[in-house]
Structure 1
Amino acid sequence: MRDLLPDQVRRWLADLPPLWRDGPPAMLRGLAVGLLAITLNPVLFVLSVVSLALIPAAGLGFAAFPVVTSVVRWRVNLSRRLAAGSGVPIAVPYLPTPTDASYGKWERFRHIVRDPATWKDFAWLIPGALAGGVCGLLAALLPLYGLEGILGIPIFLTMILDWYGYGIFWPIDNAFEAVLTIPQGALFLAIGLAGARWLTWIEATFASFFLRPNASANLAQRVHQLTVTRAETVDAQAAELRRIERDLHDGAQARLVSLSMSLGLAEELLRNDLEQAAALLAEARQSSGEALRDLRDLVRGIHPPVLAERGLDGAVRALALAVPLHVSVDVDLPGRPPAPVESAAYFAVAEILTNVAKHSHASTAWVRLTHRDGRLAIQVGDNGHGGADPANGSGLRGIERRLAAFDGIMSVSSPPGGPTVVIMELPCELSSPRTSPSSGTA
């Protein structure tokens, strides 16, 4: 919810005391939790029971129960998002849906029924309605009651009725009562805002006992993730091999063929036309130099020598110097990552900086590399016009595939108008510790 606010408003909220910074969002979160719990949970529980009852009766449950389950999962995922805002993240435990399991088919029904998370969601609906209704509404109504006391809304309404002659049964000293309600309302408001965070945390913790994945669900998700990662890695390796083959065929191989033809013609002309033979030999020497340059470029595309010699720090600084805009580089790595991870990180930064130079219309960019808690964190940003989307660009999608081979992740923040920030993380351990990290500007 707070992520939707402008940056200036978020900075202003960050400077507030914890009670006023975290209390109102917790109150709104509690209101959402309570209203969803008392309205949707009982309805979805009844629909689930009815759809299950229709299975032996008319057979309609085979088609209805998966549909109802999808709505239940949508509702449960809303609770997961609200719980994450309360500081209790709950992972999604659902098994991957088979590609041929569309709605109305037996495969879909069997998949839904065999998923343990289906029944955990069903078991949570009524207890979740009770816990969410009590904790959520109490978290919202207690601060609102205090706010009502500060504003003196009922007292002032009574005074207005007295003025118009409708409050003949109310006491005359309403103004004095309104003043007395202000400190009482302030006390209830402070207690309510402080308790809202605690109450929403209790509700989220209670929900996590039902909704968090068990060991089998974690294992199934991990197997699915590794299967997808392996397929993407194989595709990426095949594409890389095709690129190398294409570069060899169109570059060095073509130049070597031209070199061979020039040398053959020069050999024939040596007997009759020395001047023409010398020209062909000069052309052959030029072709050999160009072929050597193509081979060096190809080697750099596979594993750059600067990466092997100077490590990720020096290689990223060399990339920054080659970009036609000001790029600041800040590196805090007390050692070197493993060679495959180092190569993946280097090419990811190179691809993003290339996109910045080509498409962002930025004047400055920055690269930050750090290592914390066993993860290599890379941040690349620019002050361009934004609008970068991995779904619409093969470059960013290729980076995701490259990082996925190492269980890495990437997130892109690029609103229209900028700035663009790409954050990547790769799990790894560092070796060859150095005495001091380096940082600077390239």
Structure 2
Amino acid sequence: MTNDTKSGGRRTTARGMGLAAVRGLALALIALPGAVLCLVLSLVSIALIPIGVGIVTTPWVLTGVRTFADWRRVLAAEWGGVRIPPAYRPLPQGANPWTRTFGMLGDPATWRDLLWLPVDMTAGFITALLPAVLLFYPLEGFAIAAGLWRVLDGYWYGFVPVTDQASALGAGALGVVILFFAHFVSAPLLQAHFRLTGAVLGSDQGELTERVRVLTQTRRDAVDTSAAELRRIERDLHDGAQARLVAMGMDLGTIEMLLDKDPEKARQLVAQARRSSADALAELRDLVRGIHPPVLAERGLGDAVRALALRLPVATEVNVELPGRAEAPVESAAYFAVSEVLTNAVKHAGADRIWIDLHHANDMLRVTVTDNGKGGAVIGAGSGLVGIERRLGTFDGVLAVSSPAGGPTMVTMEIPCALS
């Protein structure tokens, strides 16, 4: 390992420690009063239900609790990579306060929210605050060692009583030790905070609900994509090969009439029919290749992607580590996803070099396409990446894009599958 790599790793660790400390401190300072307020208002409002006041206030309070919990779900996903799908039962539109109150109180997700609030105020607060403490507390030790001990009387830094310069240096040494350990535990502590949030707020029902929603959406997208593909095939056949075959039939009829009258003209029409047959055959081959490339069926995904790369106008490196073959639908989805990504890289990214990596590990097919283009690719409306994401979603696959302005662009696709 080079010195540059080592220093880069140290900078990354330090940056991660600082980021965990700042985020943890923000969570501790904002989330603690928010959780206390939500819990107190919820208990008071529920306690007032028997006298009627709580019937009016409880839906508003519990809606606020849900908003607070949803905000924490967003932070858990963005800062910790922990997805916590909400699993609230839908309430009837225009329901009266009585129906809304007891509908929300009858929802298990509401009670998970209320159980999470005291957990978040205690264990959650500690796991969020500790990364900041581990970063900033050593600064106090350094300040004591630098001379702050002179204005302190009978001060203890940790377990070190500070009475003179020697003990102050001991406090500084303790600060170094704490800072050293902070490098390794700050980020995991913040991750533990989000996992604790997920353990209390999450539920199997929530994951099942999210799973059903994703499958419903991907099934709808798959049906729409299949219908569009059939229309494209029909249009290509009608406007391409079918039109040429009709023209060939007409030419053959004319040739039949001209064989005796004008042999020279008949020979010209025969040559024209031969060219039309070759063009029709080429169009049919292109159409078949667009439906399912023969090389993909015969030699598998690795060779199909290599053949795809050979047709690109830019230099492309392909690395394949596939000890077997996936099922045909999975291979087809991965192939056309790679084809679309490569098309985007050539047309829009302005890349002059592309790297493709395919490998399989832990029952996951992983494909990475990297180009040195201008970057700026995003998954959004009007982007071809949306279609790729939907295609992969049919097989529980995921798409990730890293494309800062100026490049490079890295598109990663993962599809769970087993190889034969």
Give the TM-score normalised by the residue count of structure 1: 0.79
Matched, 1:14 2:9: yes
**Separation in 2, partners of 1:82, 1:300:** 41
Alpha-carbon offset, residue 382 of structure 1? 0.1
Is contact 2:248-2:273 (8 Å) kept?
Answer: yes
CA gap of 1:347–1:96, structure 2 versus 1, over 3 A, is farther
Alpha-carbon offset, residue 13 of structure 1? 5.1
Alpha-carbon offset, residue 72 of structure 1? 1.5
Alpha-carbon offset, residue 344 of structure 1? 1.3
Alpha-carbon offset, residue 324 of structure 1? 0.7
- Corresponding residue to 1:184 among 156, 164, 171: 171
Pairing of 1:290-305 with structure 2 (within 5 A):
290-305=279-294
Tell me whether 49-58 or 314-323 shows the greater mean CA deviation.
Answer: 49-58
Opposite residue 37 of structure 1, the aligned amino acid is A
Where 1:411 maps in the other structure, the secondary structure is strand
Opposite residue 238 of structure 1, the aligned amino acid is A
Is contact 2:46-2:54 (8 Å) kept?
Answer: no
Q: How many corresponding residue pairs? A: 404
Task: Determine what percentage of the aligned residue pairs are the same residue.
Answer: 44
Opposite residue 80 of structure 1, the aligned amino acid is A
Tell me whether 125-134 or 337-346 shows the greater mean CA deviation.
Answer: 125-134
Alpha-carbon offset, residue 204 of structure 1? 4.7
**Separation in 2, partners of 1:110, 1:131:** 30
**Separation in 1, partners of 2:300, 2:78:** 43
- Corresponding residue to 1:306 among 295, 305, 324: 295
Is contact 1:356-1:382 (8 Å) kept?
Answer: yes
Is contact 1:93-1:217 (8 Å) kept?
Answer: yes
Pairing of 1:342-357 with structure 2 (within 5 A):
342-357=331-346
- Corresponding residue to 2:375 among 383, 386, 394: 386
Pairing of 1:23-172 with structure 2 (within 5 A):
23-49=17-43, 56-57=52-53, 60-61=56-57, 64-65=60-61, 67-77=63-73, 80-81=76-77, 84=80, 90-95=82-87, 115-141=107-133, 143-152=135-144, 155-156=147-148
Matched, 1:210 2:200: yes
Where 2:34 maps in the other structure, the secondary structure is helix
After superposition, the C-alpha distances for 1:190-212 in whole angstroms (9 at most, x for unaligned) are: 23663654755664554344123
- Corresponding residue to 1:418 among 403, 407, 411: 407
CA gap of 1:188–1:255, structure 2 versus 1, over 3 A, is same
Where 1:386 maps in the other structure, the secondary structure is coil
CA gap of 1:273–1:381, structure 2 versus 1, over 3 A, is same
**Separation in 1, partners of 2:106, 2:234:** 47
Opposite residue 317 of structure 1, the aligned amino acid is R
After superposition, the C-alpha distances for 1:220-269 in whole angstroms (9 at most, x for unaligned) are: 22222221221111111111111111111111111112112222233333
**Separation in 2, partners of 1:82, 1:185:** 36
Where 2:313 maps in the other structure, the secondary structure is coil
Gaps of 5+ in 1: 1-8, 160-166, 432-442
**Separation in 2, partners of 1:248, 1:297:** 11
Opposite residue 9 of structure 2, the aligned amino acid is A
Alpha-carbon offset, residue 10 of structure 1? 9.9
Where 1:152 maps in the other structure, the secondary structure is helix
**Separation in 1, partners of 2:7, 2:328:** 43
Give the TM-score normalised by the residue count of structure 2: 0.82
Opposite residue 34 of structure 2, the aligned amino acid is L
**Separation in 1, partners of 2:5, 2:77:** 19
Alpha-carbon offset, residue 179 of structure 1? 6.1
Where 2:300 maps in the other structure, the secondary structure is helix
Is contact 1:63-1:104 (8 Å) kept?
Answer: no
Paired position in structure 1 for 2:397: 408
**Separation in 1, partners of 2:100, 2:5:** 44
CA gap of 1:147–1:394, structure 2 versus 1, over 3 A, is closer
**Separation in 2, partners of 1:423, 1:202:** 27
Paired position in structure 1 for 2:249: 260
**Separation in 2, partners of 1:406, 1:259:** 43
**Separation in 1, partners of 2:272, 2:412:** 48
**Separation in 2, partners of 1:47, 1:33:** 20
Gaps of 5+ in 2: 155-161
- Corresponding residue to 2:218 among 229, 251, 259: 229
Opposite residue 200 of structure 2, the aligned amino acid is F
Opposite residue 141 of structure 1, the aligned amino acid is V
Where 2:324 maps in the other structure, the secondary structure is coil
**Separation in 1, partners of 2:250, 2:22:** 78
Tell me whether 139-148 or 327-336 shows the greater mean CA deviation.
Answer: 139-148
CA gap of 1:367–1:407, structure 2 versus 1, over 3 A, is same
CA gap of 1:72–1:112, structure 2 versus 1, over 3 A, is farther
CA gap of 1:400–1:123, structure 2 versus 1, over 3 A, is same
Alpha-carbon offset, residue 39 of structure 1? 2.2
Pairing of 1:330-349 with structure 2 (within 5 A):
330-349=319-338
Where 1:247 maps in the other structure, the secondary structure is helix
Paired position in structure 2 for 1:435: none
